Amino acid sequence: MIKKLALLFPLAVLLFAFMPVKKKKVIFFGDSITQQGAQPGGYITRIEDLCKKDGLSDQFDFVGKGVGGNKVTDLFLRFQPDVLDQHPDIVVVYVGINDVWHKTSSGTGTDFDKFGKFYDAIISTLKKQGIQPIICTPSVIGERNDFTNQQDGDLNLYAKWIREYAAKNNVPLVDLRNLFLDYLRQNNPTNAEKGILTVDRVHLNEKGNQLVSEAMWKAIKQFK
Amino acid sequence: MIKKLALLFPLAVLLFAFMPVKKKKVIFFGDSITQQGAQPGGYITRIEDLCKKDGLSDQFDFVGKGVGGNKVTDLFLRFQPDVLDQHPDIVVVYVGINDVWHKTSSGTGTDFDKFGKFYDAIISTLKKQGIQPIICTPSVIGERNDFTNQQDGDLNLYAKWIREYAAKNNVPLVDLRNLFLDYLRQNNPTNAEKGILTVDRVHLNEKGNQLVSEAMWKAIKQFK
Amino acid sequence: MIKKLALLFPLAVLLFAFMPVKKKKVIFFGDSITQQGAQPGGYITRIEDLCKKDGLSDQFDFVGKGVGGNKVTDLFLRFQPDVLDQHPDIVVVYVGINDVWHKTSSGTGTDFDKFGKFYDAIISTLKKQGIQPIICTPSVIGERNDFTNQQDGDLNLYAKWIREYAAKNNVPLVDLRNLFLDYLRQNNPTNAEKGILTVDRVHLNEKGNQLVSEAMWKAIKQFK
Amino acid sequence: MIKKLALLFPLAVLLFAFMPVKKKKVIFFGDSITQQGAQPGGYITRIEDLCKKDGLSDQFDFVGKGVGGNKVTDLFLRFQPDVLDQHPDIVVVYVGINDVWHKTSSGTGTDFDKFGKFYDAIISTLKKQGIQPIICTPSVIGERNDFTNQQDGDLNLYAKWIREYAAKNNVPLVDLRNLFLDYLRQNNPTNAEKGILTVDRVHLNEKGNQLVSEAMWKAIKQFK
């Protein structure tokens, strides 16, 4: 019996070599930044380019599932149809800006404790279903680098929670907020509130999309 | 065969007469008003009294599951442990005040569209599990009777949605808001903002608790 | 002596008949609705037309002083240069929408008590300086006619205060809010939230501008 | 003539030495923190103690004019009766916390640009009337020392504006915010949100009152 299997082994290897690789499906789950990310020049499009450059185009499929104005509760409500029913292998969750921003722009932000509960409901379900989550801290609302943007305190708080959640639950983290803050400390000498990484304090310009794409791709390609 | 069954029938009746009735478990699912409702003088305690008066104490069990500050998303998050795991027969849902109020008191109210989605997630699940829902419109934030309370517009909107949801889905409705507005039109000649049915514009005084208890009991006892 | 004067009187009348009439300067002091009111088709432009139609063009000059986003505190801060320094005869004050609206759209609405204090500071000063004020209730934020627009409660409250202020201080009132509500009750059968008198729930369309112009002109021409 | 005056001079000096010194009246103009400051243990009471210790009790009178919930617009509205009509020599202005806080707690915070305009209206008038202003940055809303308190961004922004205003207009500054932040960096190892300098994230405890009193007294006694 063992002999026969031994004979079969090289054959199996040979077969696999010619079998089409099952591509990994990566879903980007988020708000308007992610919605724009799927457009030409957007961060998802740039990740496709980086993937190609690394010769890994046959291993990954990238799908944008961003909807403008979304908060964590919106992600939760469309989690089944937009994520689980699509059978992804990897899900990159990039949310939190509207949860904080809407507190003053419409009075319907997300309470800190509930942000964590809905966030965890999403990530826990992904893990239970064998889907790899990658999570991100919210980037910026305003680019001033001396913590004088109105929502800086809250963004820091929600980002800190995500960092701690990632560590505690062993989830890969793309720390966009720290990445942005570091970049702005060095590249925003006039303390402008937009125009460095964003066009309007929130939505990414070319440089912002590039920064996000590089950080995310680094995290994603570990799962090749 | 028919004869034998005919003989057995009176016996069965006799047996049932001595069998302990399986009481219907009624859960009140809501916010601080419901939390206070379970206390002496509260609306749940008063429903127990009304039930006793009607000689139906052996048919109903009343359980308060109210938590201060709760919005529909909070109910949703504790729905499994606090409601479904308790195996109720009837669930009275009384929520919406904080969803509207928190828009200005903490910036974390509930978007109108999301209120409906989470609300429906709760009621639909109850129905699927064979649990009878009874739903209520949110009562008041401020008792002035000329629509000059700050949240009147929003409360009217959310209440209207609940009314339409009840009609469309054939769910029994306790229209607390209309009940309160009618009462205030007739019993608030000085247009006071509190002290008629509430102690503080929101939480019920004796009269308010009595009004709610009577309206709810009328809806509940149909399911005896 | 008396005789001589009697002889002079007919002469004086004759002189006045040929003297150029000193036109009354009317300033419209308000927010973006007033800013747009000065444009072609706007309510101020329409008042000019109505004035012409009534053959009173030689008696009135109309000047728009509206600035987008203005609340009563903004009016107060630019009161000296934009109103007093212009030496008007009549000032039409149309403010209050942003005072209410900004509570949820930016967290910077005007407290009810402070609205009254700054409002009174403006009107009292006008009166002291012999300038005729005409005041208006805030029109609408949303055109639904069943009091389900989010800000209806607050708008009703602030409008009610203005009505009472007008009565108590004997200031001519243009009750735009009641005018709009009456119109919408009769002309908004589908309960639409915009498109009847506004283009976007707040800013006036053709019909809205016409309605405002007629009501204001009626109040202004009393002072011919 | 010159001779005679020369003879009188020593006499004049002698006279002044026995004349009662006209005390300098110091008004503390602010919100609930200042209202509490006038109570036993409060920062104003502690300044009186420090003044006594320095042997300067005969040179200063301290008057608290703090009102709970006050923003810069409230100070402005009661500026005439509460400050100017009291004929102070020095006015310490400590405001800004509610201007920021009320954005989320009631939707009626103060727009950044209007904060500056009303603030300047107060300080400019003091200067014009020969009254010495001393201004303070707003302390804290939450004592966490890693910029994760919700209002940190806005407090930093408003504090920065006050610092720049002080420098530009040559007004003595008590930089309470930086003083508090420095203290919290060194004395809040658990990153607690209250209990170090405040009892409730905002209002001062014993240590907080002491810190404020020392910093203010240092600024005030320069004007002895």
Q: Per the CB < 8 Å rule, is D152 touching A156?
A: yes
- Tell me the β-bridge partners of D26: D62, D90
| Dihedral angle computed from the Cα positions of residues A192, A193, A196 and A199, in that order, rounded to the nearest 10 degrees | -140
- Neighbouring C-alpha atoms within 13 Å toward the C-beta of D136: 28
Task: State the pairing for strand pair A60-66/A90-94.
Answer: unpaired
Q: Per the CB < 8 Å rule, is A146 touching D156?
A: yes
Those residues whose C-beta lies under 8 Å from the C-beta of residue D85, and which sit 6 or more positions away, are none
Least CB–CB distance from C147: residue in B104, B142, B152: B152
Extract the tokens encoding C47. Answer: 């008042």
Q: For C174-183, how does the pLDDT look when each residue is reduced to its tens digit (9 = 90+)? A: 999 999 999 9
Is residue B9 situated within a structural domain?
A: no
Lateral strand order in the sheet of D60-66: D60-66, D24-30, D90-94, D132-136, D173-174
pTM value is 0.91
Does residue D26 surpass a pLDDT of 60? yes
Q: For D71-89, how does the pLDDT look when each residue is reduced to its tens digit (9 = 90+)? A: 999 999 999 999 999 999 9
D9: pLDDT confidence band, cut at 50, 70 and 90?
A: low
pLDDT by residue for chain C (224 residues), tens digit each? 455 555 555 555 555 555 666 899 999 999 999 999 999 999 999 999 999 999 999 999 999 999 999 999 999 999 999 999 999 999 999 999 999 999 999 999 999 999 999 999 999 999 999 999 999 999 999 999 999 999 999 999 999 999 999 999 999 999 999 999 999 999 999 999 999 999 999 999 999 999 999 999 999 999 99
Is residue A3 situated within a structural domain?
A: no
C-alpha D118/C-alpha D158 separation (Å) is 13
Is residue A11 situated within a structural domain?
A: no
What 3-state class would DSSP assign to B64?
strand
Strands (E), C11-122: 24-30, 60-66, 90-94
Q: Angle, to 10 degrees, between the axis of helix C176-187 and the axis of helix C206-220?
A: 140
Is residue C15 situated within a structural domain?
A: no
Is residue A12 situated within a structural domain?
A: no
Residue B153 has a pLDDT of 98
User: How much of chain C, in percent, has pLDDT values that exceed 70?
Assistant: 91
Q: Can you say how many angstroms the Cα of residue D127 is from the centroid of all Cα atoms in its chain?
A: 16
D103 vs C contacts (CB less than 8 Å): 106-108
Alpha helices in chain A (DSSP H): 2-18, 32-37, 43-53, 72-77, 79-82, 97-105, 112-128, 152-169, 176-187, 206-220
Least CB–CB distance from D156: residue in A104, A148, A157: A148
Q: Per the CB < 8 Å rule, is A106 touching C107?
A: no
Q: Per the CB < 8 Å rule, is D107 touching B104?
A: yes
Q: For B157-204, how does the pLDDT look when each residue is reduced to its tens digit (9 = 90+)? A: 999 999 999 999 999 999 999 999 999 999 999 999 999 999 999 999
- Nearest chain A Cα distance for residue C221, angstroms: 41
Residue numbers of chain B with a pLDDT score lower than 70? 1-21
D110 vs A contacts (CB less than 8 Å): none
- Nearest chain D Cα distance for residue B101, angstroms: 10
| ipTM for the assembly | 0.90
Is residue B89 situated within a structural domain?
A: yes
C77 vs D contacts (CB less than 8 Å): 114, 117-118
C-alpha C100/C-alpha C93 separation (Å) is 16
Q: Per the CB < 8 Å rule, is A153 touching D157?
A: no
Extract the tokens encoding D187. Answer: 């004395």
Helix (H) or strand (E) holding A196: none
D118 vs C contacts (CB less than 8 Å): 73, 77
Q: Which of A71, A101, A102, A111 to mutate to test the interface with B (most CBs of B within 10 A)?
A: A111
With tokens 């998050």, the residue in question is B77
Least CB–CB distance from A107: residue in B73, B109, B114: B109
Residue D52 has a pLDDT of 98
Least CB–CB distance from A152: residue in D103, D104, D152: D152
Residue A20 has a pLDDT of 63
Q: Per the CB < 8 Å rule, is A107 touching B110?
A: no
Nearest CA in chain A to D106: A107
With tokens 């408003």, the residue in question is D158
Instruction: Give the total number of structural domains in chain D.
Output: 1
Measured CB to CB, residues of chain A less than 8 Å from chain B are 73-74, 77, 102-104, 106-111, 114, 117-118
Q: How would DSSP label each residue in B99-121?
A: HHHHHHHTSB---HHHHHHHHHH
Residue B1 has a pLDDT of 47
Least CB–CB distance from C114: residue in D73, D104, D111: D73
Least CB–CB distance from D152: residue in A103, A153, A160: A153
Is residue A6 situated within a structural domain?
A: no
Extract the tokens encoding C167. Answer: 């009565």
Name the nearest CA neighbour of D71 among D27, D101, D113.
Answer: D101
Does residue D20 surpass a pLDDT of 70? no
Other Cβ atoms less than 10 A from the Cβ of C189: the count is 9
Is residue D15 situated within a structural domain?
A: no
pLDDT by residue for chain A (224 residues), tens digit each? 455 555 555 555 555 555 666 899 999 999 999 999 999 999 999 999 999 999 999 999 999 999 999 999 999 999 999 999 999 999 999 999 999 999 999 999 999 999 999 999 999 999 999 999 999 999 999 999 999 999 999 999 999 999 999 999 999 999 999 999 999 999 999 999 999 999 999 999 999 999 999 999 999 999 99
Tell which phi-psi region holds residue B41, choosing left (phi > 0), alpha (psi between -120 and 50) or beta.
Answer: left
Amino acid at B164: E
Which domain range does residue A30 map to?
A: 21-223
For residue B169, give the CATH number of its domain.
Answer: 3.40.50.1110
Residue D1 has a pLDDT of 47
